[in-house]
Structure 1
Amino acid sequence: MFTTALRAGLLGLACLALGSAHAQTPLKIGFLATFSGPIGAIGQDQYDAFMLAVEQRSGKLGGVPVQVLKEDDQFKPELATQIVQKLIERERVSIITGITGSNVIMAVARPITEKQVFLISTNPGPSPLAGAGCSPYQYVASWQNDNIAEVVGKYAVDKGYKKMILLAPNFQGGKDILGGFKRYYKGTVQDEIYTPLNQLDFSAEIAQIAAQKPDAVFAFFPGALGVNFVRQYQQAGLLKALPLLSTGIADGTSLPALKDAALGILSGAFWGPDLDNPVNRQFVDAFEAKYKRIPSTFAAQAYDGALLLDSAIAKVKGNLADKQAFGSALKAADFKSVRGSFRFNNNNFPIHDMHMFEAAKDAKGRVSLKTVATPLKDHQDAYHGQCSLN
């Protein structure tokens, strides 16, 4: 009888141990981004901020241990598709997050969501995915691509610029950006210039700008593309004479390289390091302390992506098998955002304020971003009505 009781006790302890071990099995999250090439700094900022949030929670999100699988797509859609297949079929991930390029997310969104794996974009939000291509398994923690240009278009109108030249790389993201600008800009577009995706020499385009003499220029060039464009624009003597309005050029990834050359550039975004709310102040201080640099917008939106996952995983107590419940938890967006006001529209894209920033010296004498206007408040994207989700 003693032996039977002892065996039962040992069996019970073994079951408890197995249950505890099972409860602590890490939740696998695929982090797919571009870590190499001209825009590699953007992917690194995304990853660093996401991991900062994980580390602040002792390696957990929503109280559940997570294993973040870092993958470099090299800005190549075909490679990204192969990585996604590996993450889903071999690693059995329930969530894929990150993503740096619109060209990449357009290639991988459907293969991810069709497998009922949750896609949390912390950067691109191309228009096709905001409209008819929306999905209950797809959430964008950053912005719809057009947003960051729409606010600049509105600002250009407010400033009275009558004629402008627009420039962007020739890919989905670039087309969305210029389309967004034109949606709100009411003046004359003298020229619309699309450059090859990896072009780093803009001398010909800058000569065109100088010859046409617009009131101002709007440009979108992410990563190293933007650094090169600004340096060449300044060297040509245009920066002081011809206002440069931008998005994806003057931010935490490029300002350390540009330094004083960037002073005076105006940029549209939903976030800047000087936004005055408790979550943002804590984030900026923690990011600077760990990485010794000012966070970029890309870092801020990836941090928000981690906070979103933290809230949703906690709501379902780590049970991602109930996909409807987890989707509802994500949709609720029950977290405090670094940007302040944040909620999801019917298409799972954000509704938020859009600001204008100027590259200027901060209190420490560093070139950073200073908020100068908020032309669009509680702003929603132009495509949500094409989405069939409620």
Structure 2
Amino acid sequence: MIELEDKYADIRPYNDDEVAASLTRLINDNAFIDVIAKYNLPRFISAVGFLARAIIKHQLRKKWGKVKTVEDVQNEVAHYLNKLIKRTTSKVTFSGLEDLDPNQAYLFVSNHRDIVLDPALVNWGLFQHKMKTVRIAIGDNLLQIPYITELMRLNKSFIVKRSAKAPKEMLKALTQLSAYIYDSLSSGHSIWIAQKEGRAKDGVDETDPALLKMLQLNGRKQKKEFGEYIKELKVVPVAISYQYEPCAIAKAKELYHKQHHGKYVKSAGEDIASIVEGFSSAKGHVHLSFGQPIESGCDSADELAKTIDKQIIDSFYLHPGNFIAAGCTEAVINKNDAAQFEERLAKVPEELRALVLAMYAKPFHRKTQVDEQSCEQ
């Protein structure tokens, strides 16, 4: 087992024997302590750097003194997530989990709307159903700050090396990633991975076949056919649906900039700001729908991508805002829900409003399109 872990030392999450040292590094990281102080202490205290740091460090040493293992960390995260859900959502609901085997490891492939919340809420569902939490795929573009790397690897995240550019370097990184995912599943650890790189900023949840070809790299090494290998991975599509789209205005700004200037370059710290906004903003009702394990009919990456997409579109829970944005007058929408959606929309800058509306409307239109195609067949 040690040999297996060493093979992945540069990308894997921390093991139990690495937890204490990681927590010590966090407590001694002033940048991390300052962020905690900013969001947890009164402004008049957080403004006095040395005092704020002393208070936060003392509190963390006391709080984390008993945290020794990865499971201890997961219990701490669950406690925090419970508070966050109560504070920023009206409710979080799940469907499909009751049909999954709690003793089976799955490869959860989900749509992607929020950087950290998506896998966190998948874990919350699993935790509530007494199932093991997942190992989380996270791009190295998010790990530019040391304390973020510590937090992610403590929380069962493994690194996807998106920064690799040279063809040989990229192939090596993807092959290692593919093997790590397979070995994790084989040893009973479920995996979460987004269906494509980056969040869906336009409301289109679509699986990238390149991601699925990466999964097969290890299968090719084992000389297994695509369909045979994928069946072993126990792929389960997950549709995550937020009543109020996380970071909607920021996503629309990015789309607007690309439309009018051809490209968009993120500013330093923008991803961190998105993570904080995703955590702190009101999300209303959030629903996660867990699909059926894909076991047949997928002999290529394109076929598998279509199968994942169909499950995600079919099971995507439509909120009042999705109906309103799509102009669906037939839907029975609670007046309060409609008023709240219109109130949020009124706060969106005029030039971004059409983009935000399209973000909400797209899931409705895609679901309708799939339903029509099913009727024609």
TM-score above 0.5: no
Greater Cα radius of gyration, structure 1 or 2? 1
More relative contact order, 1 or 2 (CA 8 Å, 6+ apart)? 2
TM-score, normalized by length of structure 2? 0.29
Larger strand fraction of residues:
1
Instruction: Give the TM-score, by structure 1 length.
Output: 0.29
